[in-house]
Amino acid sequence: MKIGILTSGGDCPGLNAVIRGAVLKGTEIYGRELVGFRDGWRGVVEGDIIPLGRKDIQGISKEGGTILGTSRTNPFEGTNGAETVRENMERLGVDSLIAIGGEGTLAAAKRLTDAGIKIVGVPKTVDNDLSGTDYTFGFDTATQIATDAMDRLRTTGDSHGRCMVAEVMGRHVGWIALHSGMAAGAHAILIPEQKTSMDQIVEWVTSVRDRGRAPLIVVAEGFTLDTMDDAHSERGLDAFGRPRLGGIGDMLAPEIEARTGLETRSTTLGHIQRGGTPSAYDRVLATRYGMAAVDSIVNERWGRMVSLQGTEITHVGFDEALGKLNTVPQSRYDEAAILFG
């Protein structure tokens, strides 16, 4: 019987390295056959597969995106859910699945596991918001891209004596903003976990300007001012009906300019953070996750996600990964805040 792999939810640098790690371990060590389901759960509910032999995964770990494609398809919507998945798997000779995705993909995987489908999970997301693992792959690459971008914003900001605002990803959590902001020496880091007042932001910007520097601010897309109830959204809904975020930087910049008199520009990095080649760290982590996922299949650890704890790859139950988001703790924010202003 074959092992099926799918990549679901937003793409993320390192997905191909997971696929390669799983295929190499599965074929070379366990003599198993692997196939890929195309476009996440869509391929599973429609029985759309491609072969995944050694030749198919040659040289892919350095490539961004996913050779399988991805989607935000809900396997329970417009289908018989687990029954459809079970029938397709039987027909295609697939007995188990490796689901590579974030909390949404794994929530779907948990429901399918509860209905008797044999699934192991691999934690994916640039946001690093999954619990049950120290790091998700993709986060390191996204953070490096954001840091490089801020280094560049800094030289142009310095040249013109402007305040520069960099908006990064982070729907619910501010890990990319926290790490890239610390790395790039940002003068304020605005994250979803910490509502902040406009007065406070203006105070930081003014103090930087008054000592002759050009202020650099990083804001996560999910950040809210203390006067806002929800994250800023002006771009409609995504395929799962959630507000598409983005634009908070553009909203803050004119307000900062009006309140400080300092010319202010905003740049939204958006999907640049999810594209392109993964960092060495992410390639290694993703490859190890892929190999460990096949170990979990062979050892029949259904309903569990491979996980990084310290430097070791281990596994945790879907419940542990899905219970709550991995948010930035107060202590990590306080540590970074010493550098603000």
Interacting residues with ligand F6P (CB under 6 A)? 10, 125-127, 169-171, 221, 238, 245
Q: Is 105 annotated as a binding residue?
A: yes
Least distance from C-beta 301 to ligand F6P, angstroms? 26
From CA 339, how far away is CA 331, in angstroms rounded?
14
Cα-trace Rg, the chain: 21
Least distance from C-beta 128 to ligand F6P, angstroms? 10
Helices (H), ranges, the chain: 15-24, 41-46, 82-92, 103-114, 139-160, 175-184, 198-210, 248-260, 280-298, 318-322, 330-337
Determine contact, residues 68/36, Cβ cutoff 8 Å: yes
Pick the closer one to ligand ATP by CB: 162 or 172.
172
Q: Is 10 annotated as a binding residue?
A: yes
Q: Is 171 annotated as a binding residue?
A: yes
Q: Is 72 annotated as a binding residue?
A: yes
Pick the closer one to ligand F6P by CB: 169 or 188.
169
From CA 317, how far away is CA 304, in angstroms rounded?
4
Pick the closer one to ligand ATP by CB: 325 or 337.
325
- Residue nearest to ligand ATP according to CB distances in the complex: 104
Q: Is 125 annotated as a binding residue?
A: yes
From CA 247, how far away is CA 53, in angstroms rounded?
43
Question: What six digits make up the tokens of 231?
Answer: 């994250």
Site string for Mg ion, 85-114 (x = CB under 5 A): -----------------x-x----------
Crossing angle of helices 280-298 and 139-160, rounded to 10°: 160
The tokens 């429609």 sit on which residue?
46
Pick the closer one to Mg ion by CB: 136 or 296.
136
In the chain the first and final C-alpha atoms are separated, in Å, by 60
Select which of 39, 56, 114, 127 is catalytic.
127
Binding partner at 73 among ligand F6P, Mg ion, ligand ATP, none, C-beta below 5 to 8 Å by kind: ligand ATP
Q: Judge whether 334 counts as a catalytic residue.
A: no
- Residue nearest to Mg ion according to CB distances in the complex: 104
| Residues in contact with Mg ion by the rule CB under 5 A | 102, 104
Residues contributing to the annotated binding site: 10, 72-73, 102-105, 125-127, 162, 169-171, 221, 265, 271-274
